[in-house]
Amino acid sequence: YRLMEKRDEAADAYRKALELGKNYPLVHYKVGLLWEDTKPEEAIKAFEKYLASDKNPDFQTEAKAKIEKLKNVTASQSQRKQ
């Protein structure tokens, strides 16, 4: 769904996966990927949940880099609004 630009459908599928297995870190990572372009605050939360788990460390470096980038983007957006 994410690759087909069907974000709402992807979000629903990820939400269902999390309901089935709340401690499924890769889903949190994918939620971060889903929202990084449109909802950076949500993406940051998802990447942070991924990092909070010790399971599935494969994308930790990428998640940390994405969080840093997204925080810079949101800070820049906040400064422009002021």
Rounded CA-CA distance 55/61 in Å is 14
Q: Mean pLDDT across the chain, nearest whole number?
A: 87
Query: What is the per-residue pLDDT for 56?
Result: 76
How far from 60 is each of 51, 53, 66, 67, CA to CA, in Å? 6, 10, 10, 10
How far apart CA 58 and CA 10 sit, in angstroms, is 22
Instruction: Tell me the pLDDT band of 8, cut-offs 50, 70 and 90.
Output: confident
pLDDT at 36 over 70: yes
Contacts 24+ apart (CB under 8 A), 27-30: 28/53, 29/56, 29/59, 29/63, 30/2
